[in-house]
Amino acid sequence: MKMTRLVLALGLACAAVSAHAEQPALTAMTEDTGVPRTPEQAAVVFEHADLGFKVLPDSKRLEGDATLTFRASAALSKLVVDLDRNYQVSRVEVDGQAVATGGWRNPEGKMSVDLPKPVASGQVVKLRIVYAGQPHVATRAPWDGGFVWAKAPSGEPWIASAVQGEGCDLFWPCIDHPQGEPLLVDQHITVPAPLVAAGNGVAMGMQEKDGWRTWHWRTRDPNTYAIALNIGPYEEMKGEYHSRFGNTIPLRFWHLRGREQQARELFAEFPQVLDFFERNIGPYPFGDEKMGVVETPHLGMEHQTINAYGNDYKKDKYGYDWLLQHEFAHEWFGNQLTNTDWDDMWLHEGFGSYMQPLYLQYLRGDMEYHAALLDQRAALANKFPIVSGKSQTEEAVYNREHGPGLDIYYKGSLMLHSLRSLIGDEAFFASIRRAVYGTDTPKPGQFKPRYVSTRDYIDIVRQVTGKDYGWFFDVYLYRAALPELLAERDATGLSLRWKTPDALPFPLPVDVRVGGNDGPIRTVAMSGGQGHLALAAGETYTLDPHSKLLQRLPHIEAFQRDAEARRQAAESARKK
């Protein structure tokens, strides 16, 4: 999701066309995502979205024809969907009957349609909307959402959507909220021949007529922002993965022409990444569809079964393609497990970020695991809690000026590392499986995507361990400042005390190594947030020798202050 890398220092591997200065402004309703659903939106089950898109590269125009099927869970007199008001709506139908112009309205991007007659609970109603216009152009995809109109190196149109930050309503009528997932989506994507449209889910066929190709894709239970358009002069790479759970998973990679060698090297990583996740977490959630990746003119995004990849085939200092691995993590933490609210976004990004050091531990051992965690530790801001406890929009969570920003990635990851150290691997991974699948023993085809909140996960940890760890999550998730471990020598040894925000209880045990590097390790119980270890006079000690604890570290803060000072000095020098 909104892929970030420490301080977003990566450049985009992109030949994107910049946004038109004259493009109409988005309304506040459309620009934001995760605004609470209206009563009408909360009172429907979104059963099916049948989406027709005709993409016209020359005019950067989109023609849409969407039929949305809802089942009412309460009586309804109108339907409400989200759609950018900058589109021109030419026709609205309810159950096949045209709705007069006065029967629908879309002043701010939340479109209301009056029903010809009330719909009772349990009844099905179909809403069709035909619309057209120029979709909002992303100025800096994927961080600023919209369409990317680019050119492939060979000159053909290369087009992608990336709408996580602003939402699905940038290009199709939807319920723009994490809990607005449709149960089934069909996409009919019409593009100039011979371009390819790689889509979510399963390929249902392609028809070509009069110089146009229409690609049909079908997927189940997608995140609303996961529906994506990816169009270009693609070549398709195919393979299969024989899962440890007995099923066979199709592997697909759509890459640009002329990049086959680089594409083969990346494609070779697919089975290893799959094995890591299936071994540590559980079955790939969409194995009956595909593991799909498509090369894009922006950095990346976790579009369910068709993850956007724009990392230009670069491996990082750890020797793997971090973007491929991170986006694929979101098939579990984002697409299978979906946050109930943007306030719970750490469940996507924190777990997704922890999968990277964990993957390095799987590949090469503990040194790179701890090195990757240290990279994350150096990036923490700790200015805002990563969970507020109240409903939030995407912008409120990701904007680090007034929200947690990158901390939902890295503080979430480091908190999970400490939780794993506290409760042990067996309970830790059992808690993840139960959160992701709803069971400790998931099997392909025997689970469905789930909505999970922060409180749900805290309850799951309690169920798995038989202990209440609310104190742990209260400090790490619901407070901004990190706990500080205070150590003081006394006449008989070492006194330890946790200093926490709001003086919250925090009985987190502390390991102490006595003597040199080969000295014994003693675990100090911290009942009441305090503990004591007997030490001989003059004996040396090392606190937390295996770096289990997420805690305040003054030397990290000093490093951050120095780095910020140097950044500001360099910025001032550039302006002179």
**What is the pLDDT, as a whole number, of residue 575?**
86
Q: If you average pLDDT over residues 175-186, what whole number do you get?
A: 97
| Helices assigned H by DSSP within 283-406 | 322-329, 346-364, 366-377, 394-398
Beta pairing class for 146-151 and 157-162: antiparallel
Q: Is the sign of the CA dihedral 340, 341, 345, 346 positive or negative?
A: negative
Catalytic residues: 327, 409
- Per the model's pLDDT, the better-predicted residue between 160 and 2 turns out to be 160
What's the pLDDT band for 7 if we cut at 50, 70, 90?
very low
On the question of pLDDT at 320 being above 50, the answer is yes
Beta pairing class for 484-489 and 493-499: antiparallel
CB-CB contact of 508 with 476 (8 Å): no
What's the pLDDT band for 22 if we cut at 50, 70, 90?
confident
| Helices assigned H by DSSP within 33-82 | 39-42
CB-CB contact of 436 with 336 (8 Å): yes
Beta pairing class for 248-256 and 234-242: antiparallel
330 known ligand binder? yes
Q: Is the sign of the CA dihedral 470, 478, 422, 347 positive or negative?
A: positive
Beta pairing class for 248-256 and 307-309: unpaired
Contacts of 459 (CB under 8 A, 6+ apart): none
On the question of pLDDT at 321 being above 80, the answer is yes
Measured in whole angstroms, the distance separating CA 30 from the mean position of its chain's CA atoms is 20
CB-CB contact of 277 with 328 (8 Å): yes
Count of other CB atoms within 10 angstroms of residue 566? 10
370 known ligand binder? no
pLDDT digits 0-9 by tens, 357-408? 999 999 999 999 999 999 999 999 999 999 999 999 999 999 989 999 999 9
Show the CA angle centred on residue 79, arms to residues 83 and 114, nearest 5°. Answer: 105
CA distance 128 to 30: 20
pLDDT digits 0-9 by tens, 496-548? 999 999 999 999 999 999 998 999 999 999 999 999 999 999 899 999 999 99
What's the pLDDT band for 3 if we cut at 50, 70, 90?
very low
pLDDT > 70: percent of the chain: 96
CB-CB contact of 125 with 264 (8 Å): no
On the question of pLDDT at 19 being above 80, the answer is no
On the question of pLDDT at 11 being above 60, the answer is no
Q: How far is CA 489 from CA 483, 496, 500, 533, in A?
A: 20, 9, 20, 10
Tokens matching residue 13? 């591997």
Q: Which of 147, 185, 563 is nearest to 378 (CA)?
A: 563
Q: How many CA atoms lie within 13 A of 30 on its CB side?
A: 24
| Helices assigned H by DSSP within 365-477 | 366-377, 394-398, 407-423, 425-437, 454-465, 470-476
**What is the pLDDT, as a whole number, of residue 401?**
92
On the question of pLDDT at 187 being above 60, the answer is yes
Show the CA angle centred on residue 146, arms to residues 92 and 43, nearest 5°. Answer: 45
Q: Which of 312, 315, 314, 291 is nearest to 303 (CA)?
A: 291
Q: If you average pLDDT over residues 144-164, what whole number do you get?
A: 97
CA distance 533 to 524: 7
CA distance 345 to 409: 9
What's the pLDDT band for 132 if we cut at 50, 70, 90?
very high
Q: If you average pLDDT over residues 291-320, what whole number do you get?
A: 96
Tokens matching residue 118? 């009330």
Which segments within 57-135 are labelled E, that is strand?
A: 61-72, 76-82, 88-94, 97-98, 104-105, 110-119, 124-133
**What is the pLDDT, as a whole number, of residue 2?**
54
Phi and psi, residue 426, nearest 5°: -60, -50
On the question of pLDDT at 217 being above 50, the answer is yes
On the question of pLDDT at 474 being above 50, the answer is yes
**What is the pLDDT, as a whole number, of residue 174?**
98
Long-range contacts of 258-263 (CB under 8 A, 24+ apart): 258/153, 258/154, 259/295, 259/313, 260/235, 262/313, 263/235, 263/237, 263/295, 263/313
What's the pLDDT band for 576 if we cut at 50, 70, 90?
confident
pTM of the model: 0.94
The amino acid at residue 261 is Q
On the question of pLDDT at 143 being above 80, the answer is yes
Q: If you average pLDDT over residues 338-367, what whole number do you get?
A: 97
Q: How many residues does the chain have?
A: 576
On the question of pLDDT at 17 being above 50, the answer is no
326 known ligand binder? yes
Which residues sit opposite 144 in a β-bridge?
140
Q: Give one word for 503, left, alpha or beta, with left for phi > 0 and alpha for psi -120 to 50.
A: left
Asked if the peptide bond before residue 194 counts as cis, ω within 30 degrees of 0, the response is yes
On the question of pLDDT at 14 being above 60, the answer is no
On the question of pLDDT at 4 being above 80, the answer is no
- Per the model's pLDDT, the better-predicted residue between 21 and 299 turns out to be 299
Instruction: Supply the mean pLDDT for the chain.
Output: 95
**What is the pLDDT, as a whole number, of residue 5?**
37
What's the pLDDT band for 16 if we cut at 50, 70, 90?
very low
